[in-house]
Amino acid sequence: MENGTKKLNNVSSLAVEQPLPKSKLWKIMMVASIAAGVQFGWALQLSLLTPYVQLLGIPHKFASFIWLCGPISGMIVQPVVGYYSDNCTSRFGRRRPFIAAGAALVTIAVFLIGFAADLGRASGDPLGKGSKPRAIAVFVVGFWILDVANNMLQGPCRALLADLSGGKAGRMRTANAFFSFFMAVGNVLGYAAGSYSRLYKIFPFSKTPACDIYCANLKSCFFIAVFLLLSLTTLALTVVRENELPEKDEQEIDEKAAAGGKSKVPFFGEIFGALKDLPRPMWILLLVTCLNWIAWFPFFLYDTDWMAKEVYGGKVGDGRLYDLGVHAGALGLLLNSVVLGFVSLSVEFLGKKIGGVKRLWGILNFVLAVCMGLTVLVTKMAEKSRQYDAHGTLMAPTSGVKIGALTLFAVLGIPLAVTFSVPFALASIFSSNAGSGQGLSLGVLNLAIVVPQMLVSIVGGPWDDLFGGGNLPGFIVGAVAAAASGILALTMLPSPPADAKPATTMGGFH
């Protein structure tokens, strides 16, 4: 009996010391591909929904409050889902049930958003311009559900990628780079669909008395988004199983199941405990990430609105210039996503050439700051070059102004590729070194993303309105935050251990 115990202890010791098993790269790519379906719908939100809610009758200064749905749901849902997916004992796996539930909720949300105008009209909303309170209510409910569903999908997907990486830092960075790449693919498809003004003809029933061509195009885009997401999710969850997870993690789950499925402390106690016990590198990562997203979110929120108003000189619901500007903004986001896709596959290579991914992140935050500052220059160029036809009607901006604005969109794809991959990879690496659960650790990181989003959503509209109702004041704040994020990344953020061990990092690619 004593010999058997010693043997068992030796086996356990070897299990801990030996490298954890890695899944085949194609399986990691399959799971990462779900990001394309998620991001397709997110791209539609970013490019079309801010103009859409204003067409429903919500003023610009209040439109940003609609976007509180995302950060609030992210602040609650991702940590909750991450925590319970770490401890899930379902026979279908830890992460897969949450991913499947998220995909189902997306379908419901898209139906509510797409048919908000029709349901509002059926409930008594008037046709034509003006506020449509019932449609707005349906839209907000659908938007909340959509953001909850997206958070249910993304957190477990990234955690599953970390699980399948077998604890290897290089493979974790590669997995997150693929996730970022497929986000770019989803963006390209979403922005391409959003920029095509006749997509509604594929679904003729989408155009109704309450839903004009713009609304019908949005509805048609969401139909395609649901089909893409459900197809990719079903394929990934069918092909990739979770029976390759490290034995140590499975043993921890079994022990919790044997104890009645209850953790030692309630969920929120676990969250506060995780925050209290965070190592210094994670705290610095949270700070850098927080400033980074204060920089990004004003652009995400108002990019197409900036193109339509400041660059094209259009007004919401008045004339064709605003619509042309929105479609031009969607084209800019399409270019942004193409650059994002190419750079995502090069993050690991660029990090090695520059001296580490954290240095790469810091440098590109300065690129982000410069680009946000240049929106002021492009806006001033557009204002100085305004042209009118013989009837006194304002014309579209000159080619030089258009090229300048589209170039900014494209260049921003470079720092965005790092934002979508490096922080998550660093969180996975730091949490693995500290022995934390991947789902909970990524949920904690998500707090550093959603808190600045909430801040921008609350103060962004009134802040811009204070300076005349434009989008530039928020962009300037973003430029300052990006510069601060870059300074902290270069001076305070520690390099992950694998950056100092090239052999280990290279091993992640085999």
Asked if residues 454 and 297 have their Cβ atoms less than 8 Å apart, the reply is: no
Q: Which two tokens stand for residue 229?
A: 């997401």
What average pLDDT does the structure give for the chain? 77
For residue 196, give Cα distances in angstroms to 217, 334, 396, 414.
Answer: 8, 12, 18, 25
pLDDT > 90? residue 364: yes
Rounded Cα gap, residues 409 and 295, in angstroms: 15
Averaged pLDDT, 452-469: 69
Averaged pLDDT, 229-247: 77
Nearest to 235 by CA among 82, 27, 25, 94: 27
- Give the CA count within 13 Å in the CB-facing half-sphere of 209: 6
pLDDT > 50? residue 505: no
pLDDT > 80? residue 106: yes
Which domains does the chain possess? 21-243 (1.20.1250.20), 267-509 (1.20.1250.20)
pLDDT > 90? residue 449: no
Predicted local confidence at residue 365, as pLDDT: 96
pLDDT > 90? residue 24: no
Residue 288's pLDDT band (cuts 50, 70, 90): very high
Question: How many CB atoms lie under 10 A from the CB of residue 262?
Answer: 10
Predicted local confidence at residue 140, as pLDDT: 81
Averaged pLDDT, 289-309: 88
Residue 415's pLDDT band (cuts 50, 70, 90): very high
Nearest to 285 by CA among 493, 449, 75: 493
Averaged pLDDT, 247-253: 48
The secondary structure of 342-378 as a DSSP string is HHHTTHHHHHHHHT-HHHHHHHHHHHHHHHHHHHHHH
For residue 383, give Cα distances in angstroms to 157, 211, 324, 472.
Answer: 45, 33, 17, 13
Angle in degrees, 0-180, between the axes of helices 438-466 and 280-306, rounded to the nearest 10: 40
Averaged pLDDT, 189-214: 76
The secondary structure of 181-202 as a DSSP string is HHHHHHHHHHHHHHH-TTGGGG
The tens digit of pLDDT for each residue in 180-199 reads: 899 889 888 887 777 677 77
User: Comparing 251-260, 385-394, 449-458, which segment has the lowest mean pLDDT?
Assistant: 251-260
Residue 269's pLDDT band (cuts 50, 70, 90): low
Asked if residues 48 and 325 have their Cβ atoms less than 8 Å apart, the reply is: no
Predicted local confidence at residue 47, as pLDDT: 62
Predicted local confidence at residue 489, as pLDDT: 93
Averaged pLDDT, 339-356: 87
Longest dimension (CA), the chain: 99
Predicted local confidence at residue 271, as pLDDT: 58
More confident residue, 388 or 443: 388
Residue 111's pLDDT band (cuts 50, 70, 90): confident
User: Comparing 210-219, 336-345, 376-385, which segment has the lowest mean pLDDT?
Assistant: 210-219
Nearest to 42 by CA among 237, 188, 160: 188
pLDDT > 50? residue 147: yes
Radius of gyration of the chain (CA): 24
In b/e form, how buried is each residue of 217-253, taking b as 16+ CB within 10 angstroms?
Answer: bbbbbbbbbbebbbebbeebbeebebeebbeebeeeb
Predicted local confidence at residue 231, as pLDDT: 93
Residue 298's pLDDT band (cuts 50, 70, 90): confident
Predicted local confidence at residue 132, as pLDDT: 77
Asked if residues 469 and 61 have their Cβ atoms less than 8 Å apart, the reply is: yes
More confident residue, 416 or 24: 416
Residue 466's pLDDT band (cuts 50, 70, 90): low
Averaged pLDDT, 209-221: 77
Q: Which two tokens stand for residue 476?
A: 């300037």
Residue 501's pLDDT band (cuts 50, 70, 90): very low
- One-letter identity of residue 383: E
Averaged pLDDT, 286-315: 88
Rounded Cα gap, residues 461 and 68, in angstroms: 12
Q: Which residues on neighbouring strands pair with residue 211, listed in sequence order?
A: 208
For residue 425, give Cα distances in angstroms to 64, 298, 328, 456.
Answer: 30, 24, 33, 25
50 CA to centre of own chain: 17
Residue 256's pLDDT band (cuts 50, 70, 90): very low
What residue spans of 115-132 are helical by DSSP H? 116-122
Reduce the DSSP state of residue 412 to 3 states and report it. coil
More confident residue, 375 or 114: 375
Name residue, tokens 């103060």. Answer: 459
